[in-house]
A and B are shown apart, each in its own frame.
Chain A
Amino acid sequence: KAGVTQTPRYLIKTRGQQVTLSCSPISGHRSVSWYQQTPGQGLQFLFEYFSETQRNKGNFPGRFSGRQFSNSRSEMNVSTLELGDSALYLCASSLGSSFAEAFFGQGTRLTVV
């Protein structure tokens, strides 16, 4: 059974650009959540999608957005990148709403220069 797949694994972008990250959940999982991990702030919840609807949202500016497709794959987009957006972005998938049942991907390392 394939795990959660995040692409790309590494990304370098210039300040002011935008970026799109992709997450393919475990087959059958309908919930995808996204997290940002930085040395300064630790691991923080961004948002969660379930059946193509955003169900929960963390405390991040509107530059951070996401969506989920009918096949449960999810993308997150960050517009007008700032140096502080450099981070490891993790996604997790689960069957239902319980975070306790979530499986994490390997993450996308974004570097903004």
Chain B
Amino acid sequence: KQEVTQIPAALSVPEGENLVLNCSFTDSAIYNLQWFRQDPGKGLTSLLLIQSSQREQTSGRLNASLDKSSGRSTLYIAASQPGDSATYLCAVPSGGSYIPTFGRGTSLIVHP
């Protein structure tokens, strides 16, 4: 059974800092890994998708890396802004299927 852990659970930083959010998973037989953003009480917005054959993906100030062999992914946020405040979740498919297992998320607050 796939288990996904995200560290830290919460983070509060001043604006402008570079951040690293961590995601680890137990079953490395995955098709891909996806990072999402969730604003309070809202749905999920996909940020980055990394296929199993890729090592990293970039979108603007966001960069996600994937190391399948060690079961880890990191989401790097450069020059954080108050608008980045949200919960960040990672998700990986479980047991060779497309059904996702989610981490519990990292709750990020960026204060001005």
A residues touching B (Cβ–Cβ < 8 Å)?
Answer: 4, 42-45, 48, 56, 58, 88, 90, 92, 97-100, 102-107, 109
B20 adjacent to chain A (CB < 8 Å): no
Among B41, B42, B43, chain A packs the most CB atoms within 10 A around the CB of B43
CB atoms of A97 and B43 under 8 A apart: no
Among the 9-residue stretches B58-66, B68-76, B77-85, B95-103, the one with 4 or more Cβ atoms under 8 Å from chain A is B95-103
In whole angstroms, what is the CA distance A105 to B102 when docked?
17
Please tell me the number of chain B residues within 8 Å of chain A, measured between CB atoms.
22
A58 to B95, CA, bound (A): 13
Give the docked Cα–Cα distance between A43 and B42 (Å): 13
CB-based contact A90/B99 at 8 Å = no
Q: How far is the CA of A105 from the CA of B42 in the complex (A)?
A: 8
Give 7 new A-B contacts, CB below 8 A, not counting A48-B99, A90-B43: A42-B103, A42-B104, A43-B102, A90-B44, A99-B98, A100-B31, A102-B46
Q: Are A100 and B34 in contact (CB under 8 A)?
A: yes
- Tell me the complex Cα distance, A97–B93, Å: 12
A-B contact count (CB 8 A): 46
Q: Do A104 and B41 have beta carbons less than 8 Å apart?
A: no
Cα–Cα distance between A92 and B101 once the two chains are bound (Å)? 15
Give the distance to chain B from A106, nearest Cβ to Cβ, in Å: 5
Name the B residues within 8 Å of A44 (CB-CB).
Answer: 102
B41's partner among A56, A102, A107 (CB-CB below 8 A) is: A107
Closest A-B pairs by Cβ, 7 of them: A104-B43, A43-B102, A104-B44, A42-B104, A106-B43, A99-B98, A100-B49
